Copies of this chain bind each other. A is one copy, B any other.
Amino acid sequence: MANEKLNELKDLGEFGLIDYLTQNIKIHHSSTVKGVGDDAAVINHENRQTVVSTDMLVEGVHFDMVYTPLKHLGYKAVAVNLSDIYAMNAQPRQITVSLAISSKYSTEAISDIYEGMIHAANHYGVDIVGGDTTSSLQGLVISITAIGEAKEEELVYRNGAKENDLLVVSGDLGGAYMGLTTLQREKEVWKVNPNMQPQLEGHDYILERQLKPEARKDVITFLSQLGVKPSSMIDISDGLASEIHHICKHSDVGCSLYEEKIPIDPMTHKVAREFNIDPTICALNGGEDYELLFTVSQTDYDKIKGNPHWTVIGHMTTKESGINLISSGGSVIPLTAQGWDGLNKDK
């Protein structure tokens, strides 16, 4: 590779870099009155409620540059933020993007990250309206804030689940964690023998779940088309178990989760067994699936049943009944929230 092709960030300067990175940003919404280029962006929400969420991704904690393609990283950073907005049953409209970059990154590398972000912004139809680009002493930090909107009556919080409501999850679970586990194994192999080719064939689905997850915009649309408004909703970033605990805590209810109902993709199942990990544990505690977990009234069951996009996995109970996993063997096991914890992952 021709190293001389790689521009150093310092040659471009902060303003030059921002101009370079933002030149391909398209504006999708008339509500975006002013995007990148002033002290702040301006948004006109026309009587709708504004919804705001923010997430930070840190190199070495949330991603490992050894096996993370830069465009995918940019895409994922945006998708995981939008997931929080969809989890409010709202539509994301704008994002701001802040990057702290160490000197080991070339302009081309940052440009790739930005390309992934712009790709995600176009895919989900959101406007990149601002940001900050600065240096870091070590590694890369990405901080994204997503701004969405919804009518007041559309918003779904974590605190609306009622006793007897059905617990529903979109897609399948545990795949992102098994993708990560596979990538980490190949990294260890590579560290011992850098000439070894990675054994990633046949792992496409779980690798994509880890490296390029999608936010479930489609699920919000389907629910709206069916006329179903969830009573509570959250996105699965830390793992099913942890998110169920959040809903129960905020809604002051208990939950019965049925192990045999938890949707797990065959590839996730197979790879988990290869690693000698219980697939259910992957689904409960793996995290980073970015599926939507929601509760609906039993009266909505006819509308949601048999839909391939989601699975009923349990029901809400009284708070006193506790939060329990009903195992495939019929045992009732208190469900602990061992969600993926960003603060402890690097221990």
Contact = CB atoms under 8 A, between A and B. Distances in A.
Nearest to A150: B42
Interface stretch (A44-52, A189-197, A275-283): A44-52
A39 B101 CA distance: 27
A5 interface: no
Contacts of A131: 54
Contact of A100 (B41, B53, B56): B56
Interface string A91-131: 00010111111010000000000000000000000000111
Interface stretch (A81-89, A265-273, A306-314): A81-89
B40 A94 contact: no
A229 to B, nearest CB: 16
Contact of A40 (B40, B53, B136): B53
A58 to B, nearest CB: 5
Interface string A153-191: 001011100000000000000000000000000000000
Contact of A58 (B39, B49, B96, B136): B136
How many chain copies does the complex carry? Answer: 2
Interface string A41-83: 1111111011111111011111000000000000000000000
Contacts of A50: 42-45, 50, 147
Contacts of A42: 49-52, 88, 155
Interface stretch (A10-18, A256-264, A317-325): A10-18
Nearest to A89: B39
Nearest to A141: B141
Contact of A343 (B13, B60, B96, B341): B13
Nearest to A83: B39
Contacts of A152: 33, 44
A37 B100 CA distance: 26
A251 to B, nearest CB: 12
Nearest to A103: B346
A48 to B, nearest CB: 8
A10 B100 contact: no
Contacts of A130: 52-54
Given A137-B60, A343-B134, A158 B46 contact: no
Contacts of A297: none
B52 A14 contact: no
A206 interface: no
A74 to B, nearest CB: 16
A-B pairs, top 4 by smallest CB distance, nearest first, are A143-B143, A40-B53, A43-B50, A39-B87
Given A33-B152, A40-B51, 9 more contacts: A38-B250, A39-B84, A39-B87, A40-B52, A44-B49, A54-B96, A54-B98, A145-B145, A147-B147
